[in-house]
């Protein structure tokens, strides 16, 4: 579990692996509103969810699974963008740049261009 930087949301990852299907065969990410305790949104994945991160401004949630990273609006759960063949992403503290790593490179992206 992890709180958003502004404290307005809490995310939780549930492992939904099927016995006998092999390790890490599924996962559910739920984002809760901390003021109400209610689920804002949830997403189900067919593969194990490696991690979930909030952007420094708490507006974006990134979810990593199967060498893929998907970006969602924190309030609505709307999918903003999906990038495949990515190992890791890191938001800059000023929320202007996103660093992505692949097997062979590090890429720097302007967040407003990436998620618009």
Q: What's the pLDDT score for residue 21?
A: 56
**70 forms bridges with which residues in the sheet?**
63, 82
| Closest of 20, 3, 21 to residue 11, by C-alpha | 3
Q: What's the pLDDT score for residue 72?
A: 95
| Closest of 8, 9, 18 to residue 44, by C-alpha | 18
d(CA 10, CA 42): 12
Q: What's the pLDDT score for residue 103?
A: 81
How, if at all, do strands 97-101 and 88-91 pair? Answer: antiparallel
Question: What is the pTM (predicted TM-score) of this model?
Answer: 0.86
2-85 has which fold? Thrombin, subunit H (2.40.10)
Q: Where are the alpha helices (DSSP H) in 17-116?
A: 111-114
Residue ranges of the domains in the chain? 2-85
Helix, coil or strand: residue 54: strand
Polymer length of the chain: 116
From first to last of its 116 residues, the chain has per-residue pLDDT tens of: 899 999 999 999 887 766 665 555 678 899 999 999 999 999 998 887 888 889 999 999 999 888 899 999 999 999 999 999 988 889 999 999 999 998 889 989 898 888 77
């Amino acid at each position: 579990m992890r709180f958003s930087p502004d404290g307005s949301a809490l995310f939780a990852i549930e492992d939904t692996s099927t016995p006998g299907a092999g390790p890490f065969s599924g996962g559910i990410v739920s984002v809760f509103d901390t003021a109400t305790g209610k689920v804002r949104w949830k997403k189900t994945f067919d593969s194990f969810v490696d991690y979930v991160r909030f952007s420094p401004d708490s507006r974006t949630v990134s979810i990593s699974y199967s060498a893929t990273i998907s970006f969602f609006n924190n309030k609505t759960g709307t999918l903003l963008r999906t990038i495949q063949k990515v190992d890791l992403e890191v938001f800059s503290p000023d929320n202007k740049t996103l660093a992505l790593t692949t097997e062979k490179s590090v890429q720097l992206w302007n967040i407003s261009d990436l998620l618009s």
